[in-house]
Amino acid sequence: MPETAAGGAGVPTHCPYCALQCGTLLSPAGASVAVAPDAGFPVNRGGLCQKGWTAAEVLTTADRLRAPLLRGADGRLAPTGWETALDAVAARLARIRAAHGPDAVAVFGGGGLTNEKAYLLGKFARLALGTSQIDYNGRFCMSSAAAAGTAAFGVDRGLPFPVTDLAGAGAILLAGANPAVTMPPLMRHLEGADLIVVDPRRTATAARAAVHLRPAPGTDLALALGLLHLAVTEGRLDGPYVRERTTGFEEAWQRALPWWPERVERVTGVAVAELRTAVELLAAAPRAYVLTGRGAEQHSKGSDTVAALINFALALGLPGRPGSGFGTLTGQGNGQGGREHGQKADQLPGYRMITDPAARAHVAAVWGVDPGDLPGPGRSAYELLDALGTPDGPRALLVLGSNPVVSAPRAARVTERLRALELLVVCDFVPSETARLAHAVLPVTQWAEEEGTMTNLEGRVLRRRRALAPPPGVRDDLQVLHELAVRLGQPAERFPADPRTVFEELRRASRGGRADYSGIRYERLDAGEELHWPCPDGAHPGTPRLFLDRFAHPDGRARFAAVEHRPSAETPGGAYPLYATTGRLLAHYQSGAQTRRVAELAAAEPEMCVEMHPGTAARAGLTEGARARVTSARGSVHARVRLSEGIRADTVFLPFHFPGDGRANLLTGDALDPRSRMPEFKVCAVRVEPCDGA
Ligand code: SF4
C-alpha cells in the first residue's frame, strides 16, 4: 500500500473538491474514514488545504439523505422507497416527453461528476430522453478558457503540461487566479518564480507577488492588449517563434496597436511603470508562464480576454516551449474531464462537436444507434435554466452534481424558473437549496464511497477509489441512471451501472477525438502509471506535455486572435456607484453545499461577508463587522462588512458560497459571452448601505 506523509497506509484516492485533485489516503475511522495526504502524488506532494483535511466529515453530515423523497399532495417532501421513487420519476418524465416532445425534458450536470457519470449522463439525455436540452455547471466555470484555448491551439486542456513544470519558472503571470486560497498546495510549485498577479484585490496570492496589477473589474482585456502592445514596442516579440509556429499575428497586432501604455493606464487604472515591469519580468525569464483563472474568464467578453492573454503569451513565444507555456487553472474537481465526455450542450464524448457528421457517426456506432437518432445542440446552461417552465422551454429537469439556486447567475430569476417546472428531480447527498425545491430527491453516494475516474487540471486521469460502504438507502448516480433508462424503455446493457464497464465504453467513444482516452484503462492506472490524455493506445505513455512539436490545428500552428476591448454589460453609475465582483474563500467550495456542513469550515467562515475598502465603507457609514445590504438592479444581499486596504476603493468583493439572502448571485446579471455563453459573474454595479436593524 502507498505510504502517507506520516508513514501510514490507506486507500489511495483524491480530494473531492477542486481541480488540483490532491492525492489522499483513506483509512478506516469508526463509521467513516480518516484523510491523510498522499506524499507520493506529485501534484500536492503531501500537502492538503483545510478543505481536503476535513473532507471526511461531509460523509457523515447529520442531514445526509438516506431515502428518496417525493413531494406529496400536501406539498411536503416525504421519504419513500427506491422502487416507488424511480417508478414515479420515470413515469412523469415519460408522460411529459410524450405530451410535449423530447425537448420538454432537460438535464443539468456538474463539473464534479466522475468521467463515468458525465459520460453516462450525456448518453442518458440523448438516448433515454432523446433531448437536446443538456448542459452543466462547468459552463459557468471553464467555458471561456475552453473556447479561447481551442481556437488558439486546436485543443483545450487546462494545463498542457504537468504542474510540477511550474517549479522551474522564473516568472509567472496569474490573471484572475488566486491559488493561495483556491488551491493552496499549488503554491509550492510557484515558489521560485516572480509572480505577476492581475486582480482588483490584494489577495493572498497577490500578497506574494513581485508585481500586483489591480485593474478595474472588466478591464482585463484592455490590460492584455496593452501587454501585447508593450511586448512588441519594447522589442520583446519572439519573431522566429511567431513566424514558424503561429498565424494571425498581424491582425492581432493591429487591434493592440491603439493600446499604448498611457491609454491602458487610463482605462484600467494600472500604472504604466507596473505594466512595463510585468512585461520585462516575463520576457527576461528563461522560463515563463501565463496562467488564467475565473477572474479573467467569467465575463461577457471572457473568451476574448483569454484570447488576448494567449496572444501575449504567443508574442513572447511561451506556449509549446519546454519549461514555459500558457494554461488555465481549472476550477471544479472534474472541470477538465467533466467537459470532455458529452454533458455539454454542443459536444459528444471525446470532446467532439455534436454538429460534426463524423463525430455523430462515431459516437452513434459506439452507442448502437443511427446518427440521425442523436439530437442536435441544445441551450447553454444559463439559457437552459432561464427557459425552464416557459411555453417553449423544458417542463422537467433532472439535476446531478449541481446546486444552481446558489451557483447560477441572477439567482432569483433561476429560482423562479425552477419553481415553474412540472417536475424537478435532484440527485444529491443532502437537501441542498435546489433539492428543497424538487418534486423528487434521489440520495446518492459521495466520493469516498464510489469508484471511477477524474481528470485533473493537467489532463491527468486519476482513479477515485471506494474506501467506505455507502450508507444504507443511498445509490450511485450510475445506478440511478441505469434504473431510469430501463424504465424509459432502454435495453439494460446500454446503460451499465458499473463504472469500469462505463469507462470501457467511454474509451471507445473517445477514440480519435480531441480528448482520446482509448489507451487508458483502470488496470494501467491501478498499476501506478501516470497517464495524461491523449493516450491513443494501450502501449502509449500518455501526453503530459502538449504542443512541443506542433499545435493541434491541421497546419500545426497556433492562432493569434484579433480581439477588441469592450465595456462590461453593466458599469457603475447613478444608484449603483460601485463594482461588485464575486469569488471564493479558503474555507468553502462552490455553492458551499458540502463545506458549509463541515464544522471547522463553517466556524472559519460562518456567514456571508462583503470585502470593501475602509474609505468606501466610511462613506457608506459602515465599519468592520457591521451588517450591510448590497444592492444591484436585480436584488439585494445581506453581508457582514470586512475591511481591506488591498481592494480598490471602487470595488466590493462577495464570496458565492452562501444561501438565502447571502447569495452573491442575487446580484449578478445574465449577460453572456457570445462565444462561450459564460455569464458575467465578475462584474456588476451595486450600492452598499447599512442594513436596517443591524
Ligand atoms: Fe482539495 Fe483542492 Fe484543497 Fe487540494 S487544494 S486539498 S484538491 S480543495
pLDDT digits (tens, 9 = 90+) for 390-437: 999 999 999 999 999 999 999 999 999 999 999 999 999 999 999 999
Instruction: State the distance from the centre of ligand 1 to the C-alpha of 130, rounded, in angstroms.
Output: 37
What kind and span of H or E run contains 71?
A: strand 69-71
Q: What is the pLDDT of residue 5?
A: 41
Ligand 1 neighbourhood includes 52 CB (under 6 angstroms) = yes
Q: Would you state the CATH architecture of domain 144-329?
A: 3-Layer(aba) Sandwich (3.40)
Cα(333) to ligand 1 centroid in Å equals 9
For the chain, which residues score pLDDT lower than 70?
Answer: 1-8, 693-694
In ligand 1, the atom with minimum distance to the C-alpha of 24 is 6
Predicted pLDDT at 8: 54
- Provide the pLDDT for residue 182: 96
Ligand 1 atom closest to the CA of 184, numbered from 1 = 5
> Quick one: which atom of ligand 1 is closest to the CA of 14?
7
pLDDT at 3: 47
The answer to whether 126 and 120 are in contact (CB under 8 A) is no
Alpha carbon distance 390, 379 (integer Å): 14
The number of the ligand 1 atom at minimal distance from the alpha carbon of 18 is 2
Residue nearest (by alpha carbon) to ligand 1 atom 6:
52
Residues in the chain: 694
CA–CA distance from 174 to each of 184, 188, 679 (Å)? Answer: 14, 15, 21
581 Cβ partners below 8 Å, 6+ apart?
200, 201, 217, 295, 651, 652, 653, 654, 682, 683
Q: Say whether domain 69-140+334-526 belongs to CATH 3.40.640.10.
A: no
Instruction: Tell me, using a 6 A CB cutoff, whether residue 457 lines ligand 1.
Output: no
CATH topology of domain 578-690: Barwin-like endoglucanases (2.40.40)
Q: Using an 8 Å Cβ cutoff, are 303 and 676 in contact?
A: yes
Q: Which residues have C-beta within 8 Å of that of residue 60, sequence separation ≥ 6? A: 31, 32
Q: Which CATH superfamily is domain 11-60 in?
A: ADC-like domains (2.20.25.90)
Q: Are β-strands 171-175 and 194-198 bridged in parallel, bridged antiparallel, or unpaired?
A: parallel
Q: Is the CB of 22 under 6 A from ligand 1?
A: yes
> How far is 185 from 182, CA to CA, in rounded Å?
9
Q: Which pLDDT value is given to residue 694?
A: 47
ipTM comes to 1.00
Q: In the numeric block, which cell numbers belong to residue 131?
A: 433531448
Shortest-distance atom of ligand 1 to CA 48: 6
Task: Decide whether any atom of ligand 1 lies within 6 Å of the 36 Cβ.
Answer: no
Beta carbons of 418 and 388 less than 8 angstroms apart: yes
CA 284/CA 297 separation, integer angstroms: 27
Domain ranges of the chain: 11-60, 69-140+334-526, 144-329, 578-690
* Ligand 1 center to 51 CA (angstroms): 6
Q: Is 55 a pocket residue for ligand 1 (Cβ < 6 Å)?
A: no
Q: Is 19 in the pocket of ligand 1 (CB under 6 A)?
A: no
Q: Say what the alpha-carbon torsion angle 571, 573, 577, 582 is, to the nearest 10 degrees.
A: -10
What pLDDT, on a 0 to 100 scale, did the predictor assign at position 693?
53
Sheet strands side by side (includes 23-29): 11-14, 23-29, 32-37
With H, G, I as helix, E, B as strand and everything else as coil, classify residue 391: coil
What's the pLDDT at 141?
Answer: 87
